């Protein structure tokens, strides 16, 4: 079986039959019982200039930028790539550990060149940190068993200009100890309906979520609120943070958290707080079922990126 390989702009840019593999410019025949190959991406991005993760042509989104790069590299249509993200971050929200997967009808024997090309095509505020083969079981969204988010607050009198895009500046001095006390009320299994904004689509989501930890940590003038849970409703994290901000200002007591949770009514939260601004929020990591992370036996090694090398300069002796 043969197929043409187009070399520009990349040696792995391919128009090929479904069961083929790229190896040094040659197309190799693969087992016909494995018609598609799945790839996992670990992605970091500065969300300042993007209308969130979810694909849309305009204004630009992170998924849109990623798909444009993948289309150019693989020569596949977006419907064939079938890119799926672990979650939809909102406009202005950042990520250190977003996860996505895509599909190709061909295999690779090495991912380092693909990885380098992806980062070469992506805008400088989006980076693929890791590229790996994925098993058929793996699904970026449905294999996830939990996520970790971090919200950063600058608690100094004068905002650090280097933090302005990544932290919310509180004009009030916050009591971190009281906020930590209140955050503990979120831990456990609860109905978080009171902390969810109306969904952006018709999907009905289960409001019962489990929060395993909610840490409040001071790092100088920076206050970090890190929450880990089984899943989160639309705007849930920013709404929880908004209430903690009011508690940190000592405007309301810590036990107000339980009172609002019990109402299951978003209007009740609105009496005390609006959503916290997006720039302070980052998706730190997505946790997966371990068996879904097992690498396929016929896949190439994981790519963590590569460094350029330089030959030693041989200077003549004088």
Residue 90 among the catalytic residues: yes
Between CA 231 and CA 288 the distance in angstroms is: 12
Between CA 88 and CA 84 the distance in angstroms is: 10
User: Which position among 77, 90, 160, 298 bears the catalytic label?
Assistant: 90
| Residue 132, φ and ψ in degrees, nearest 5 | -145, 155
Q: Which residue in the block uniquely carries the two structure tokens 């016929």?
A: 298
305 touches 116 (CB < 8 A) = yes
Between CA 262 and CA 190 the distance in angstroms is: 9
117 touches 11 (CB < 8 A) = no
Q: How far is CA 167 from CA 88, 235, 246, 278, in A?
A: 20, 17, 17, 9
Structure tokens at 248: 């940190």
283 touches 229 (CB < 8 A) = no
Catalytic residue numbers, as ranges: 90
């Amino acid at each position: 079986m043969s197929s043409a390989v187009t070399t520009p702009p990349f040696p792995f840019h391919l128009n090929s039959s479904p069961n083929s593999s790229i190896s040094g410019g040659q197309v190799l025949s693969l087992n016909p019982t494995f018609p598609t190959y799945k790839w996992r991406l670990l992605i970091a991005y500065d969300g300042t200039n993007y209308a969130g993760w979810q694909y849309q042509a305009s204004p630009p989104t992170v998924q849109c930028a990623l798909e444009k790069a993948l289309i150019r590299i693989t020569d596949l249509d977006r419907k064939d790539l079938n890119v799926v993200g672990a979650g939809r971050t909102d406009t202005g929200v950042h990520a250190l550990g977003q996860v996505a997967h895509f599909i190709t009808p061909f295999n690779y024997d090495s991912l380092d060149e693909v990885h380098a090309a992806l980062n070469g095509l992506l805008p400088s505020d989006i980076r693929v940190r890791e590229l790996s083969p994925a098993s058929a079981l793996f699904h970026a969204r449905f294999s996830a068993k939990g996520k970790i988010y971090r919200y950063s607050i600058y608690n100094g009198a004068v905002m650090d200009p280097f933090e302005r895009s990544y932290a919310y500046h509180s004009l009030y001095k916050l009591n971190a100890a009281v906020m930590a006390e209140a955050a503990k009320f979120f831990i456990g299994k609860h109905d978080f309906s009171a902390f969810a904004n109306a969904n952006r689509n018709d999907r009905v989501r289960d409001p019962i979520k489990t929060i395993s930890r909610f840490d409040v940590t001071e790092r100088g003038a920076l206050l970090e609120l890190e929450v880990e849970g089984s899943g989160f409703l639309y705007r849930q994290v920013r709404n929880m943070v908004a209430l903690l901000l009011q508690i940190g200002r000592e405007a309301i007591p810590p036990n107000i958290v339980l009172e609002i949770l019990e109402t299951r009514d978003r209007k009740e939260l609105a009496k005390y707080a609006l959503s916290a601004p997006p720039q302070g929020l980052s998706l730190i990591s997505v946790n997966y079922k371990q068996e879904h992370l097992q690498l396929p036996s016929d896949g190439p090694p994981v790519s963590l990126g590569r460094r350029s090398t330089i030959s030693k300069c041989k200077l003549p002796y004088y």
